[in-house]
């Protein structure tokens, strides 16, 4: 019996050769840290289902931002938890809202050394927990909602956000936000579209963290059906045509086929959001024993890059940076 000519193991025995032929990489510069800022608390509070993740006060958030800068993380994405909610979610576009205040404070603290990305959605701000305003039948009213996303975007950009990230999966939301920003003279503010966002059970811990669990029903009338891969490309294409600057697929791990498709179909910069449930799952697995946290997290995030993600929104951003620094 003859051996094949090619012997892949020749390139695996020597660590320098392994590193020379490595096809994907992971670095601090690829990561965005999601953060929660609450105006309903006096001191930062750990999210029970997400050990190591906190609801921050504006001041403790400044420390987190400074830490991110020191670690080489290029940006954070901000989720706000208001002290008061109403049916419209009107504190989302309030100049004195929790996100707007945090943005101004962060900009003052970190200058231009960190990208400030503002999640633009209403679920944290509505008393019913849905991502938009409701019709009399209790459905989310698409067109009334995108007008509110547009107002929210303008107020966030005026408060200092570099990038607006609409996450509500309403039809036409990117176009509505783009034209409102342009009309307000905010042509330089970029849009990161949650272009293919699936109705996922992996958002469970986030809904505790952001206090935005829907009070009735679910989000399946606006977020995508997890079964649909081709439809994801149509969703992304609409956002590209509407003027999205940056694209995103969410969640990450269970949807890497969609990430790969998106990479092959579109040239725009592409991100993935490794969501709260992915974080909780890996933490719980490691705490239960059997999974080595560092190795598992580095492997899963490398897999997101291998699938084609240019950047990753991940609650592990700081841990990953520390581990990469240790490894040298
Ligand atoms: C909606 C929003 C959600 C997440 C980000 N933006 C929750 C949802 O759609 O129910 C989830 C993020 C995560 O799970 O980490 N504003």
- Which CATH number belongs to the domain containing residue 295 in this structure? 3.20.20.70
Closest residue to atom 1 of ligand 1, CA basis: 167
| Options 63, 85, 151, 197, the catalytic residue | 197
276 lies in some domain: yes
160 lies in some domain: yes
What is the extent of the structural domain holding 57?
A: 24-327
138 lies in some domain: yes
125 lies in some domain: yes
How many domains does the structure of the chain reveal? 1
Ligand 1 lined by 276 (C-beta under 6 Å): yes
Ligand 1 lined by 314 (C-beta under 6 Å): no
Distance CA 36, CA 265 (A): 33
Which atom of ligand 1 is least distant from the CA of 206? 14
Q: Which helix (H) or strand (E) holds 300?
A: helix 293-307
pLDDT tens for the chain, 328 residues long, are 666 688 999 999 999 999 999 999 999 999 999 999 999 999 999 999 999 999 999 999 999 999 999 999 999 999 999 999 999 999 999 999 999 999 999 999 999 999 999 999 999 999 999 999 999 999 999 999 999 999 999 999 999 999 999 999 999 999 999 999 999 999 999 999 999 999 999 999 999 899 999 999 999 999 999 999 999 999 999 999 999 999 999 999 999 999 999 999 999 999 999 999 999 999 999 999 999 999 999 999 999 999 999 999 999 999 999 999 998 7
pTM of the model: 0.97
Is there a catalytic annotation at residue 250? yes
Closest residue to atom 8 of ligand 1, CA basis: 203
> Token pair for residue 114?
């960190």
| Contact predicate 176/164, CB 8 Å | no
1 lies in some domain: no
Which atom of ligand 1 is least distant from the CA of 315? 15
307 lies in some domain: yes
Is there a catalytic annotation at residue 197? yes
4 lies in some domain: no
5 lies in some domain: no
Closest residue to atom 2 of ligand 1, CA basis: 167
What angle do the packed helices 230-242 and 173-183 form, to 10 degrees? 10
């Amino acid at each position: 019996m003859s051996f094949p000519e090619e012997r892949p193991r020749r390139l695996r025995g020597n660590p320098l050769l392994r590193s020379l032929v490595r096809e994907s990489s992971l670095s601090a510069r690829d990561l965005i840290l999601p953060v929660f800022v609450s105006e309903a608390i006096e001191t930062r509070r750990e999210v029970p289902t997400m050990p190591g993740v906190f609801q921050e006060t504006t001041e403790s958030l400044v420390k987190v931002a400074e830490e991110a800068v020191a670690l080489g993380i290029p940006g954070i994405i901000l989720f706000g938890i208001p002290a008061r909610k109403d049916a419209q979610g009107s504190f989302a576009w309030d100049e004195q809202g929790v996100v707007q205040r945090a943005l101004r404070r962060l900009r003052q603290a970190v200058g231009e050394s960190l990208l400030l990305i503002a999640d633009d959605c209403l679920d944290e701000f509505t008393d019913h927990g849905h991502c938009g305003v409701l019709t009399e039948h209790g459905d989310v009213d698409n067109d009334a909602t995108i007008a509110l996303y547009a107002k929210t975007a303008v107020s966030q950009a005026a408060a200092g956000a570099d990038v607006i990230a609409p996450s509500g999966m309403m039809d036409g939301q990117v176009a509505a936000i783009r034209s409102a920003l342009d009309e307000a003279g905010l042509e330089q503010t970029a849009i990161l579209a949650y272009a293919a966002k699936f109705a996922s059970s992996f958002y469970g811990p986030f809904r505790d963290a952001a206090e935005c669990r829907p009070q009735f029903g679910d989000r399946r009338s606006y977020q995508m059906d997890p079964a649909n891969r081709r439809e994801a490309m149509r969703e992304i294409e609409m956002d590209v045509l509407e003027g999205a600057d940056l694209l995103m697929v969410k969640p990450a791990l269970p949807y890497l086929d969609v990430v790969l498709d998106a990479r092959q179909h579109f040239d725009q910069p592409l991100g993935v959001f490794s969501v709260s449930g992915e974080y909780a799952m890996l933490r719980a697995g490691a705490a239960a024993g059997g999974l080595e946290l560092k190795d598992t997290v580095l492997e899963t995030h490398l897999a997101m890059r291998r699938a084609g993600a240019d950047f990753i929104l991940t609650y592990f951003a700081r841990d990953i940076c520390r581990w990469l620094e240790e490894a040298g």
